[in-house]
Amino acid sequence: MHLETLHHSLGRLVVASAKLESSLRRGLATLFMVYYHNGSILFEGQSIEWMVSNTKAVLKEPPARPEHERAIKILNEIQELNNKRNRLVHGEWTKKCEFACDGDVPGSKYCMCIIRPRNALPDERIFYVTRSRYRKTAETHQVAIRDIDELVQRMAEVESEILSALDACSI
């Protein structure tokens, strides 16, 4: 059906998220003034979750500045985008919501199939992704190719936003 398009969009998502992660790492090195030889090694290999959590902890320390609040807001969005990315990249893709619904209607209280928001732009290229989580019920999300492409676009936008925000915090 549209499997090739799905694979192409997922590939773009992986590239965009890797770029965002690298930019966040560079921004942190600037923020923490890690300019000495090999100082940025502190951030190498760290997950987005780690970088976001620790940067927010530092930015919440007094004295609070408006630049810090802006950066924290962007970091929260990065965490949210990364969670969506992980669901899409690490999930199992199907053309139907069979696994989680077990015959129930998607969107009903008995079906763990989470449908796209009603205000989402239409797209006939619909798939379902299920990601198992440790000690949590697996959820299946209805996803359109357009949703993946919008996530890629937002990651590119937030990449420049966080670099600008962290640069303002380090001045």
Distances (CA, A) of 2 to 86, 111, 114, 121, 124: 21, 25, 21, 18, 10
The pLDDT of residue 109 is above 60: no
Mean pLDDT for 131-154 is 85
- ∠ CA 12-148-51, rounded to 5°: 70
pTM value is 0.84
Q: Which distant-in-sequence residues (6+ apart) come within 8 Å of 33 by Cβ? A: 170
Kindly state the greatest CA–CA separation across the chain.
60
Mean pLDDT, the chain, as a whole number? 85
Cis previous bond, 63, omega within 30: yes
